[in-house]
């Protein structure tokens, strides 16, 4: 039975994290001088898991709140202020429907990119894009080295021998081309979707891929390190999902498998 495997790129097919700290340091330069010490202290607490801002949460930029969601329905179930104080009557703020995320006001903290973003927003940084672009520029220098994951190319080729494999990433096409070259994964994927705007358009692209490949959702598998971007939308459509993270997603599902790293899947 043929399957369609849909892979994320960043944090899935490579696992380096140095660029997140570089991003955080660059953002700190945009924080008011008197707040930079507190910003950096909070960022360290966030990285260590000792803060309400954490991977798997949602950051409400306007209200400066960390929102806890049900990972399988994407409904808001709790919210906390920056200092950890719980917010009362969350349903009156966010309703009882699945939340819709964007990249500016209600942000899904699905990976390490969004931890310094939330911290910078709390400390008044209006525009994070210059720091993001500076970090992307850093990632193409010799200072940033990507390590090819042992056995990954062979594994993907073995999948491709019997099934379809697609790459779907928020990175732009130029970044994708460079990263695939560095990772020795050029020519592997049957289909590449760049600048995918996950999670906002995840479901849309899953539906487009289902129509293009003419496979039922039950034969489609989403693989990624970001639960909100890649995993929850797949499960809601009846797809299988492989979550690559050491973090507890906060729920179980019969179609969900979790590994800490992609190599744990095939070794």
Question: Residue 248's pLDDT is what?
Answer: 78
pLDDT at position 246 = 86
Span 109-122, pLDDT tens digits: 988 999 999 999 99
| pLDDT above 80: residue 251 | no
Confidence of residue 140 (pLDDT cuts 50, 70, 90): confident
Rounded Cα gap, residues 82 and 110, in angstroms: 18
pTM over 0.95: no
**Pick from 229, 210, 207, 208: which is nearest to 219 by CA?**
210
Q: Range with the lowest mean pLDDT among 26-35, 65-74, 180-189, 244-253?
A: 244-253
Indicate the pLDDT class of residue 34, thresholds 50, 70 and 90.
Answer: very high
The per-residue pLDDT for 247 is 79
Task: Quote the percentage of the chain above a pLDDT of 90.
Answer: 81
If one compares 222 and 182, the residue with the highest pLDDT of the two is: 222
| pLDDT(244) > 80 | yes
**Average pLDDT taken over every residue of the chain:** 94
How far is Cα 259 from Cα 239, in angstroms, rounded to an integer? 17
The whole-number pLDDT of residue 77 equals: 96
Model pLDDT, residue 56: 87
Asked if residue 72 has pLDDT above 90, the reply is no
**With contact defined as beta carbons under 8 Å apart, do 231 and 224 qualify?**
yes
Task: Give the homologous superfamily in CATH for domain 4-14+148-266.
Answer: HAD superfamily/HAD-like (3.40.50.1000)
Which whole number is the average pLDDT over 116-141?
A: 94
Tell me: the pLDDT tens digits for 187-239? 999 999 999 999 889 999 999 999 999 999 999 999 999 998 999 999 999 99
> What is the 3 state secondary structure string of the chain?
CCCEEEECCECCCECCCHHHHHHHHHHHCCCCHHHHHHHHHHHHHHHCCCCCCCCCCEEECCCCEEEEECCCCCCEEEEEECCCCECCCHHHHHCCCCCCCCCCCEEECCCCCHHHHHHHHHCCCCCCHHHHHHHHHHCCCCCCCCCCCCCHHHHHHHHHCCCEEEEECCCCHHHHHHHHHHCCCCCCCCEEECCCCCCCCHHHHHHHHHHHHCCCHHHEEEEECCHHHHHHHHHHCCCEEEEECCCCCCCCCCCEEEECCCHHHHC
Question: Binning pLDDT at 50, 70 and 90, where does residue 142 land?
Answer: confident
Name the residue ranges covered by the structural domains of the chain: 4-14+148-266, 18-138
């Amino acid at each position: 039975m043929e399957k369609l495997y849909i892979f994320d790129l960043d944090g899935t097919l490579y696992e380096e994290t140095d660029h997140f700290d570089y991003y955080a340091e660059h953002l700190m330069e945009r924080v008011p001088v008197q707040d930079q010490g507190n910003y950096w202290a909070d960022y360290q607490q966030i990285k260590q898991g000792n803060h309400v801002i954490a991977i798997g949460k949602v950051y409400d930029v306007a209200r400066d709140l960390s929102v806890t969601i049900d990972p399988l329905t994407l409904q808001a179930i709790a919210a906390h202020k920056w200092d950890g104080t719980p917010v009362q009557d969350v349903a009156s703020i966010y309703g009882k429907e699945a939340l819709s995320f964007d990249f500016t006001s209600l942000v899904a903290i699905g990976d390490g990119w969004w931890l310094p973003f939330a911290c910078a927003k709390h400390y008044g940084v209006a525009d994070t894009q210059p720091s993001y672009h500076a970090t992307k520029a850093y990632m193409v220098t010799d200072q940033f080295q990507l390590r090819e994951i042992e056995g990954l190319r062979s594994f993907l080729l073995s999948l491709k021998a019997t099934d379809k494999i697609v790459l779907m990433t928020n990175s732009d096409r130029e970044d994708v081309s460079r990263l695939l070259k560095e990772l020795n994964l050029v020519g592997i994927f049957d289909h590449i979707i760049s600048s995918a705007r996950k999670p906002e358009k995840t479901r849309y692209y899953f539906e487009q891929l289902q129509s293009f490949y003419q496979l039922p959702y039950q034969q489609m598998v989403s693989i990624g390190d970001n639960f909100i971007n890649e995993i929850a939308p797949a499960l809601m459509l009846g797809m299988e999902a492989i979550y690559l993270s050491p973090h507890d997603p906060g729920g179980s599902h019969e179609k969900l498998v979790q590994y800490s790293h992609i190599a744990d899947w095939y070794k």
